Structure 1
Amino acid sequence: MYLTEEIPRLYTALAEWGACTIYILSLKRKVGNGKLAVIAGFWLLLQGMLLGLTGNAPIVFWIPVMMLAVASMFFYLYTTCDIPKADIGFCCARIFVLAEFAAALEWQIYSFFVNQGMPRDNWRRNLFCLVIYGAIFLGDYLLEIRKLPHDKGLGVKSTELVSTTIIALTIFMFSNISFVNINTPFSGTNLQEIFYIRTLVDLCGVLLLYSQQDERQKRQLAYEMEAINEMLLRQYNQYEMSRNNIEVLNQKYHDLKHQIIAIRQETDLEKRDHYLLEMENRIKLYESEFKTGNHVLDILLTMKSAYCTMNNINFTCVADGTVLKFMDTVDICSVFGNALDNAIESVEKQEDIEKRLVKTAVYRKGQLAMIRFENYSAELPVLEQGLPDTTKKNKDYHGYGLKSIDMITRKYGGTMTINTEDNWFVLRILLPIPRQDKGKTLGNINKTANEKTYNMHKKEDSNT
């Protein structure tokens, strides 16, 4: 017996529900698993009723019904996912094409076997549905969906949303044009041909959207790496400027000392003391030059300390710079520049000067270099995936400071952790120190060192 009927609407509803649900499980959610199960059950019932009750409606109502189905998919994602509306629309377009392909492929394969003589009964039909839907959704999850960020939105731009929507509408139009009018250059003449055209066009749509998403992710990664590299370069340039400034200041110190000697020859004691006090106050700001044993670190700490002094920030630092001799100059500039800039920016918001506190420590513990940055914060940031969400309005150009620190930490085989407790923001970095006497380099720090770093971090966290 040949199969001549169309896809049951309930199967289409199930495909849309399955595609939506697998996306929701992979995106950032605003509901827990229990509430999601209730919403998912309700939406499956709603979608089944919407498509099931309109299965015999005239063809003129077909497009409005499909628009309602897409709208309900949008509402399903909107009530469960904590992402912007543009991201939801972007996902909806992709989900719709994926569901159309799953339904078309399942029905074409099922109809083929029925036409080959397989008995038509409900259990075989349901088995085909579950197996093929499951294989398609699992394959899409492994290839694409699992790569979606679980802790934030997708960052979809308006142009990307428009282009994805146009692709989805075009695919839907060409895949289903034969069901509306067979007298077109793109229509099939018999049902099996129509099934084949629909499945093939939907497959092309899935592949096209997959390629688009892959290119989009590559662009985002390239943009992020460019932003991080720009930040690294900016921190290094700041270091170079600071080094030149300190060299100039050192010359000034030398000149001032000679001036002080000359002033001490002043016979008028009152005038002499006034001149001396004025000059000493001027150079007091810059005389606290750090001597940590690491020239790069000395310059950075000296300039940050001078800035803190001028802005009524209590900056304390205990640092043994010799433990960082294995780090590149650019990496030291980026780690300390970004971390101290973030800490200083945070405490500058405190109106109470007594609460403008920044602490830094660098020391060695065993075969590990330990770096700590602490600052007081009246409003501690919300941590997402171990990193605080940026408070800057323009998030496209901010939020990469800690990412660059984390990237450098991983480069040296170390770990970075962030704790927020009792109005203190604590950034802790642990780096394995290469054993130079055994010929170890940064490229071959072994697994044991990484495990030691991880265990040390856990111990540090428990003592905090």
Structure 2
Amino acid sequence: MNIFPSIDFVYLFLLQLTLGLVDMILVARLYECLYDRPVISKGKVYVAALLLGAITAIVWRLLLEYYRPTSTPVATVISSFLLLPFYRKSNWLKKGLFSIVLFAVACFWLSSYDLIVTPLPHKNFWLIEVMVHVGFWMILATTGYIGRKRRQVIPTSIWVLLTAISIVSILVYFGMFYHIMSRERPYAYMIEIMVMLVLLFINIALFLLYERFAAFTEADRERYLLEQQLQLQNKYYQQLERLHGEIRTLHHDMRNHLNTAATLVSQGEQKALKQYLQEANFRIGSYEQAVLTGNPALDAIFNIKITELKQSGIAVETDIHIPRDLKITFKQVSTIFGNLLDNVQEACEALPEKRRWVRITLFYINQSLVISIVNAASKEVSTWDGFLPATSKTNRINHGLGLKNVLQEVEPNGSLHIESKPESFSIEIVLYGL
């Protein structure tokens, strides 16, 4: 097979190669827009994209006839899937859906363009080659603008629906393509162009629908978080009001306590005095806070949650060493510790009371807050959603939000590590720059 029958085809290949490399770079930029920063530097991603683009063009040139294009949007999209492992911050459901939709968009755009320009007389092949890529670049720019907020999560049922729409449209595409190519006059009917364009816009609209549903899900999460914070604040103020009332009563009765104790001593009632002092000590002990860090937000949440844990028969061990002026917000505290300690309580309540325990460790080093929470567990986690344990509850939209909300609060300036063992479950979090 003659790869380049004339010098013109060499120039055409170089043009196609250049356009294909631009395609690949723009797709890599789109992935960053949709899936957040890659795990390696952007420069390395772009080098990998250029290598993929060059290899794709050369391989197709060796396999196809000399007059066939070597760098098409469809070939670029398929090759670009090898870049997806670099974008680990996004969940695989989103990457799977968007990969299918992007492939469909590339197919519909290329076929629509081919059906439109091929029948035209006096064609400029160089201009046709450039314009198909320019149109693809505009589609990539539109897609990147739609997905610029990088929302990640939608309900699974909606994901299945959007994926099914795109897959069905691809099946329709292949059916139409086979029908068009098998007849004598492939470019005879305008209706096929209209169908291709409609399916193209439907698939582009799927990006928008994903963002809309993700926004609704995010708003629902924000509402859930707000309700959780309001409940914690309400509990805190109720507890504070109760403690203040009890302390006022204690101060008011303190003289009577002292007089009673003095009377019992003078009368030699040692047994009665001992019992009385034990009762007084119990009352005074009930006013003490479970944790006193000097940070109002941490003290509020910890004392509420640790009280609830102890009421559930859970042995609580704390080791907390943090500065009083720690720059952590009430939202961070309530989201992280509220959710984690709720999970601890739920996990321990599934165990016999003798096996219920939790160890909470906090320390501050190098402007970073290190958090470690280890609790008893009934079994090792077997089902995971990414690197988070999957919820076993039926309402997965409202349940299972706890750890995801914690991760969302930690991710911008921190890290989270989870370890599950047959008899324990541990979470380690580091918050930087506090």
Shorter chain as denominator, the TM-score bin is 0.5 to 0.7
Structure 1 residue 314 corresponds to structure 2 residue 315: yes
Deviation at residue 351 of structure 1 after TM alignment: 0.9
* Aligned twin of 2:217: 220
CA distance in 1, matches of 2:201, 2:238: 55
Q: Which moved more, 1:101-110 or 1:216-225?
A: 101-110
**Is the contact made by 2:293 and 2:324 (CA closer than 8 Å) also made in structure 1?**
no
Task: Give the superposition deviation at 1:253.
Answer: 4.1
Q: Does 1:105 align with 2:112?
A: yes
Give the Cα separation in 2 of the matches to 1:337 and 1:369: 17
2:233 aligned to which of 236, 247, 256: 236
> Are the structure 2 counterparts of residues 302 and 100 from structure 1 closer, same or farther at C-alpha, using a change threshold of 3 Å?
closer
The structure-2 alpha-carbon separation of the partners of 1:105 and 1:405, relative to structure 1 and needing over 3 Å to count, comes to: same
In the alignment, which residue of structure 1 is the partner of 2:357? 357
Q: Which amino acid aligns with 1:105?
A: S
TM-aligned CA distance change 1:228 to 1:299, over 3 Å: closer
Q: Hey, what does 1:447 align to over in structure 2?
A: none
Q: Report the counterpart of residue 416 of structure 1 in structure 2.
A: 416
Q: For residues 295 and 363 of structure 1, what CA distance do their matches in structure 2 show?
A: 17
Map of 2:198 onto structure 1: 201
**Any unmatched runs of 5+ in structure 1?**
1-25, 27-82, 119-127, 180-189, 435-464
- Whichever residue aligns with residue 402 of structure 1, its letter is L
1:12-54 per-position Cα deviation (integer Å, ceiling 9, x unaligned): xxxxxxxxxxxxxx9xxxxxxxxxxxxxxxxxxxxxxxxxxxx
Which AA in structure 2 matches 1:244?
E
Contact 1:286 1:306 in 2 (8 A): no
Tell me the distance in 1 between the aligned counterparts of 2:368 and 2:151. Answer: 35
Q: Give the superposition deviation at 1:410.
A: 4.0
Unaligned 5+ segments in structure 2 are 1-33, 35-91, 180-186
Distance 2:306 2:219 in 1: 35
Would you say 1:388 and 2:389 are equivalent positions?
yes
Q: SS at the partner of 1:322?
A: coil
User: How big is the shift at 1:358?
Assistant: 1.0
TM-score (ref. length: structure 2): 0.56
Give the SS at the match of 2:380: coil
- Sort the Cα spacing of 1:148 and 1:251 in 2 relative to 1 into closer, same or farther, 3 A: closer
Q: What corresponds to 1:296 in structure 2?
A: 297
Paired residue type of 2:327: F
1 CA distance for matches of 2:147 and 2:367?
Answer: 41
Contact conserved, 1:236 with 1:330, CA < 8 A, in 2?
Answer: no
Q: How does 1:244-323 map to 2 (within 5 A)?
A: 244-255=241-252, 257-264=254-261, 265-266=263-264, 267=267, 268-287=269-288, 289-322=290-323
Amino acid at match of 2:316: F
| Amino acid corresponding to residue 367 of structure 1 in structure 2 | Q
User: Which residue does 2:403 correspond to in 1?
Assistant: 402
Q: Would you say the 8 A contact 1:416–1:430 is kept in 2?
A: yes
Q: Which residue of 1 aligns with 2:80?
A: none
Greater mean deviation of Cα atoms: 190-199 or 331-340: 190-199
Number of equivalent positions? 316
Residue 343 (structure 1) aligns with: 344
Q: Distance in 1 between matches of 2:282 and 2:212?
A: 59
Deviations 1:68-94 (A, max 9, x none): xxxxxxxxxxxxxxx99xx9xx99x97
Contact 1:344–1:358 (CA<8 Å) still a contact in 2? no
Q: Secondary structure at the match of 2:431?
A: strand
- 1:426 is aligned to 2:433: no
Rate the CA distance shift 1:95–1:332 in 2: closer, same or farther, 3 A. Answer: closer
Percent identity at matched positions? 19
Q: 2:232 touches 2:301 (CA, 8 Å); kept in 1?
A: no
Q: 1:96 to 1:407 in 2, by over 3 A?
A: closer
> Quick one: distance in 1 between partners of 2:387 and 2:221?
18
Deviation at 1:322, TM superposition (A): 1.7
The alpha-carbon distance between structure 1 residues 339 and 217, as it changes in their structure 2 partners (threshold 3 A), is closer
Q: For each residue in 1:291-323, what CA deviation from the matched residue of structure 2 results, as whole angstroms up to 9, or x when unmatched?
A: 323233233333333333333211011212426
CA distance in 1, matches of 2:193, 2:239: 69
CA contact (8 A) 1:235 1:334 kept: no
TM-score normalised to the size of structure 1?
0.53
What's 1:70 paired with?
Answer: none
Deviation at 1:397, TM superposition (A): 1.4
Report the CA distance shift for 1:259/1:365 in structure 2 as closer, same or farther (over 3 A). Answer: same
C-alpha contact (below 8 Å) 1:374/1:426 kept by paired residues: yes
Q: Which residue of 1 aligns with 2:378?
A: 378
AA partner of residue 290 (structure 1): V
CA RMSD of superposed structures (Å):
4.9
Q: 2:344 touches 2:375 (CA, 8 Å); kept in 1?
A: yes
**1:325-384: CA deviations, max 9, x gaps?**
21223432333222222212211221142x211111221223322222221112233443
